[in-house]
Amino acid sequence: MQHGPFRHIHLDREDGVVSITIDRPEKHNALNDGAMLDLSRAFAEIEFDRSVDAVVIEGAGDEAFSAGADIEQYAGPSEDHDPMQKERQDRFYEVYREPFECHAPVIAKIDGFCVGGGLIFAMYCDLRIASEGSQFGVPTANIGQVPTGGATRRAVELVGEATAKELVFTAGYVDAETATDAGLVNDVVPSEALDDRVASLIDAMGDAGREAVKNSKRAINAAVEAENPKTAREREADLWWEQFATAERRDLVDEFTDR
């Protein structure tokens, strides 16, 4: 499938891997309306292309994955319950969730600042790999706002209530090592090793059953969002049987037993 063109992101594809670059380095890759619409369209196109096995998202340059929402869109007075702002936030929430709902695993490759809306977007990716100099934060309180885009629940899911509250209440930043210890980031490596670390993850997933990986993502997502364990277990069982019936499963079992 031919992707693009886009105005605020750059998209490349090599074999089954799609790379998306948020391309606003002059604004530290801040997510304005145009960038969010580009991301939404990119994921919509990926969703129609089931040959995509992995997606990697990064920011242009080496200063920021994304500095968050473009604050200029929130400047000035606004009426109570401004319908334009509410509509924007509802749409942003849908876009933030696109990596989570994507059929293929999505990796956030983070080099530099990953804050505010940029961090929300990264939190909805499946895996987060960061360079040693990266910084993470939720500075919304500094501009008199609260986190949005489902960030409060997602942060609690990833790092727990106490750490989520500390990040939000202090509006400060944590380094990549601290973010890794908290469970926000999967791994931290030197900047020069970032490409190789992400490539190694993609290679490892490629060595596994491609459909098994995708169905496993669906099962884990269902467990994360289920209202009760029984619902999660039922969804997991459905996906288990779906995968069990595939030729991929039979071939990989045969390959394993023939070793």
In the listed set 182, 206, 230, which residue is the last one of a domain according to the structure? 206
- 203 sits in the region (left: phi over 0; alpha: psi -120 to 50; else beta) called alpha
Q: What is the pLDDT of residues 219-239, one digit of tens each?
A: 999 998 877 777 777 877 888
Q: Furthest-apart CA pair in the chain: how many Å?
A: 69
- Asked whether the bond before 5 is cis by omega within 30 degrees of 0, the reply is yes
| Shared-domain flag, residues 44 and 90 | yes
CATH number at residue 127: 3.90.226.10
Q: Which residues constitute the domain of residue 234? A: 208-257
Q: Residue 110: beta bridge partners?
A: 130
Say if 2 falls within a structural domain.
no
Do 36 and 149 have their domain in common? yes
Q: What is the pLDDT of residues 141-174, one digit of tens each?
A: 887 778 888 888 899 999 999 999 999 999 889 9
Length of the chain: 259
Instruction: Count up the domains in the chain and report the number.
Output: 2
End position of a domain, from candidates 186, 206, 226: 206
pLDDT tens for 187-215 read 999 999 999 999 999 999 999 999 999 99
**One domain, residues 143 and 241:** no
The candidate with the shortest Cα–Cα distance to 42, out of 88, 99, 110, 89, is 99
The band of 140, judged by pLDDT with boundaries at 50, 70 and 90, is: confident
* Same structural domain, 173 and 56: yes
Residue 82: what pLDDT? 59
Task: Judge if 226 and 172 occupy the same domain.
Answer: no
Examine the domain organization and report whether 194 and 223 are in the same domain: no
Whether residue 110 contacts residue 121, with contact meaning beta carbons closer than 8 Å, is answered with no
The predicted-structure confidence for 68-107, as pLDDT tens digits, reads as follows 887 666 555 555 555 666 677 778 889 999 999 999 999 9
Asked if the structure places residue 236 within a domain, the reply is yes
Residue 4 maps to a domain: no
Q: Global pTM?
A: 0.89
Model pLDDT for residues 21-71, shown as the tens digit of each residue: 999 999 999 999 999 999 999 999 999 999 999 999 999 998 999 998 876
Same domain assignment for residues 175 and 250: no
Examine the domain organization and report whether 173 and 79 are in the same domain.
yes
Residue 140 lies in a domain: yes
User: Does 51 fall in a domain?
Assistant: yes
Q: Are residues 213 and 199 in the same domain?
A: no
Whether residue 151 sits in one domain with residue 234: no
Domain contains 156? yes
